[in-house]
Amino acid sequence: MPCNVYRSEDGHIQVIACSRGSQVKRCKCGRKATIACDHKLTGSKLGKTCDEPLCDRCSTPAGKNIDLCPVHARMAQKDSAQP
């Protein structure tokens, strides 16, 4: 558990604040996530996006500022292949 020690101007300890730290989002592969899936959802989640945390390696660019998770990238590829 990380702790920060805050001291007064004369060096005496004023406050010690401890926390569990910030949660680092991880991609399913285990790497640190830097982006999220932008696939638009349907049905009861209409208007929302998938938001699956993704690393740069696992994301698939699908347009300007649009990245897809592997599942939605495969779905998009299938949809574009249909006549």
Two tokens, residue 45:
């989640």
> Average pLDDT, stretch 42-67?
95
Lowest mean pLDDT, pick from 2-6, 14-18, 57-61: 2-6
Q: How far is CA 36 from CA 27, 33, 40, 60, 77, in A?
A: 9, 8, 12, 11, 19
Count each helix (H run) and each strand (E run) in the chain, helices first.
Answer: 1, 6
Q: For residue range 16-54, what is the model confidence (pLDDT) as tens digits? A: 888 776 678 999 999 999 999 999 999 999 999 999 999
Predicted local confidence at residue 26, as pLDDT: 92
Phi, psi of 58 (to 5 degrees): -90, -10
What does the domain layout of the chain look like in residue ranges? 23-81
What is the spatial distance between Cα 33 and Cα 24, in angstroms, rounded to a whole number?
Answer: 8
Tell me the pLDDT band of 74, cut-offs 50, 70 and 90: very high
> Average pLDDT, stretch 79-83?
75
